[in-house]
């Protein structure tokens, strides 16, 4: 059974372009790969680290059938998304901290 496709925060694509200097097409490709990876693992699970991501993907028969270049793109997309979420969380924490100090 396949997971329901969901949308990715539009700010992620903007972040890829501004913070990672990706062109529009490249950032859309990353988003597409992220959505594909999300069909296999929960990309929003902040507890997943690199080894767990790789292991979670590798358990999937769908992933195993992919060319190695596509596998790399999926892992890179998840890695970039984790970085984005981490930075977004830091920004939220700073705003909360500033509210109370």
Tell me the per-residue pLDDT of 19-48, one tens digit each, with 9 for 90 and over: 999 999 999 999 999 999 999 888 877 666
Kindly report whether the global pTM for this prediction surpasses the value 0.75: yes
DSSP H helices, 8-67, are: 10-19, 24-38, 50-58, 61-64
3-state helix, strand, coil in the chain (%, to 5): 70, 0, 30
Predicted confidence at residue 9, as pLDDT, reads: 81
Asked if residue 37 lies in contact with residue 29, where contact means CB atoms within 8 angstroms, the answer is no
Confidence label for 1 from pLDDT (cuts 50, 70 and 90): very low
Kindly tell me if the per-residue pLDDT of 5 is higher than 60.
no
Q: Where are the domains of the chain?
A: 10-100
Cα radius of gyration rounded to whole Å, the chain:
15
pLDDT in tens, 48-75: 677 888 888 999 999 999 999 999 999 9
> What's 2's DSSP letter?
P
Q: Which two tokens stand for residue 97?
A: 């901290």
């Amino acid at each position: 059974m396949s997971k329901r496709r969901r949308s990715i925060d539009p700010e992620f694509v903007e972040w890829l372009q501004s913070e990672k200097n990706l062109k529009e097409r490249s950032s859309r490709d990353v988003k597409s790969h992220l959505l594909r990876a999300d069909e296999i693992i929960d990309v929003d699970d902040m507890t997943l680290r690199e080894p767990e991501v790789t292991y979670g993907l590798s358990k999937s028969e769908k992933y195993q059938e992919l060319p190695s270049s596509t596998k790399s793109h999926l892992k890179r997309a998840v890695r970039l998304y984790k970085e984005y979420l981490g930075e977004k969380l830091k920004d939220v924490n700073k705003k909360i901290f500033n509210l109370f100090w």
